[in-house]
Amino acid sequence: MDWARAVKIIDSAADVWLACHIRPDADALGSMLAVAQALHARGDCRVVASFGEEPFDVPAILRFLPGLDLLAEPSAVPAQPAVMVSFDASSIDRLGILAGPAAAASELIVLDHHASNTGFGTVNLVDPAVAATVVLSCELIDRLGIPLNAAIATDLYAGLAADTGSFKFSSTTPQVHELAARLLRTGIDPGGISRNLYDRAPFSYMGLLAAALERAKLEPSAARGLGLVWTTITKADRERAGLPLDAIDSVIDELRRTDEAEVAAVLKEDDEGTWQVSVRSKEIIDVGAASTALGGGGHARAAGFSAPGGAGGVTADQESGSDGSDTASGVIRALKRLLDTS
């Protein structure tokens, strides 16, 4: 990875435009805000961060992250920026409406840890071996000679905790704990970060979770006989609960507890009627390969893809009880075929 070139580009830039993937998670937003704050603290360039979707809205569980004041609407990003840096995006289309400015940038520095990364930058700082993109953001900050403070470390720790499942996943290496210790020494509040990421939800989420778990299906013969458990969450479910799409991401963490299933999948209908599919595995099945084959991507144990359908075809009198199973079944059949060969 050409760290020296990336540092030279940023050091000589008057403006640095930062972008993370749409529907940002803690790793995407945390890695971007950490670099944004570091560059802002250094004070020798203008730095603006964004993500390419409208309406432009930070997920509720991430609104505790420092540096949100450095965010701007995607419309603020010029059509041809001189220097742009992307975070946690495996392909340029994951930047949403900022894909155009990214493609037109004179220099596009890509920081990412997905094995499915397409190498779309002029400088690609991509390492699938690291646990999270925040690891690469921290290295960039170090190479730029900018010291960590508690605000920057909070963003980095949030991404590290999220992408390691609060230090439970197989990606939790000695290096992960060494970085966590370094971040803790800045005086951050790990308990507060954990509560924001894992232990907060409106009461209406409980009803939605109960409905999703009640309609869950276990298929013991799927995934090479290791088992698949899956469920659906429709737009109607979310509307009844008054929840946006990003508020239901943690449903899969409950579903994946199933002892009889190596793989868990949650099909979430977005506002346009498309299934946003999250897939997780425990030890054996490569869900990243299966998701990539279906037009998505991710890691061996955590990945996702989008699929047309949803429950939009049900009639009004059916809607309250619909789980979208007719349209979801085709998505699951395609996923199962690939899981059997992963």
Per-residue pLDDT reduced to its tens digit, 153-183: 999 999 999 999 999 988 999 999 999 999 9
Over residues 338-342, mean pLDDT? 92
Q: Scanning the structure block, which residue is given the tokens 């603290």?
A: 41
Query: Under DSSP, is residue 103 helix (H, G, I), strand (E, B) or coil?
Result: helix
- Which residue has tokens 């509307």? 239
Q: Is the pLDDT of residue 298 over 90?
A: no
Q: What is the per-residue pLDDT for 336?
A: 96
Q: What is the pLDDT of residue 57?
A: 94
Task: Give the per-residue pLDDT at 116.
Answer: 87
Backbone angles phi, psi at 278, to 5 degrees: -105, 135
Q: What is the DSSP string of 216-277?
A: -EEETTHHHHT-EEEEEE-HHHHHHHT--GGGGTTHHHHHTT-TT-SEEEEEEE-TTS-EEE
What radius of gyration, in Å, describes the C-alpha atoms of the chain?
Answer: 20
Alpha-carbon distance 49 to 19, whole Å? 6
Residue 147 DSSP one-character state: P
Q: What is the tens place of the pLDDT at every residue in 52-65?
A: 999 999 999 999 99
Q: What is the pLDDT of residues 216-254, one digit of tens each?
A: 999 999 999 999 999 999 999 999 999 999 999 999 999
Cβ pair 22, 32 in contact under 8 A? no
Q: Tell me how far apart the alpha carbons of residues 256 and 213 are, in angstroms, rounded to a whole number.
A: 11
Fold of the 3-198 domain = inorganic pyrophosphatase (n-terminal core) (3.90.1640)
Domain ranges of the chain: 3-198, 204-339
Rounded Cα distance, 85 and 105, in Å? 10
Q: What is the pLDDT of residues 13-64, one digit of tens each?
A: 999 999 999 999 999 999 999 999 999 999 999 999 999 999 999 999 999 9
CA 255, 261, 263, 265 torsion-angle sign: negative
Band of the pLDDT at 310, cuts 50, 70, 90? low
Instruction: Provide φ and ψ at 237, rounded to 5°.
Output: -60, -50
* CATH topology identical between 3-198 and 204-339: no
The answer on pLDDT for 324 being more than 80 is no
Please, which contacts does 173-180 make with residues 24 or more away whose CB atoms are closer than 8 Å?
173/131, 175/130, 175/131, 175/135, 176/131, 176/135, 179/135, 179/138
Cis (ω within 30 of 0) for the bond into 55?
A: yes
Q: Domain spanning 204-339 has what CATH number?
A: 3.10.310.30
In sequence order, what E strands does the chain have? Answer: 15-20, 46-51, 83-87, 107-112, 123-126, 217-219, 228-233, 263-269, 275-281, 297-298, 302-307
pLDDT band at 313 (very low <50, low <70, confident <90, very high): very low
pLDDT value of position 321: 41
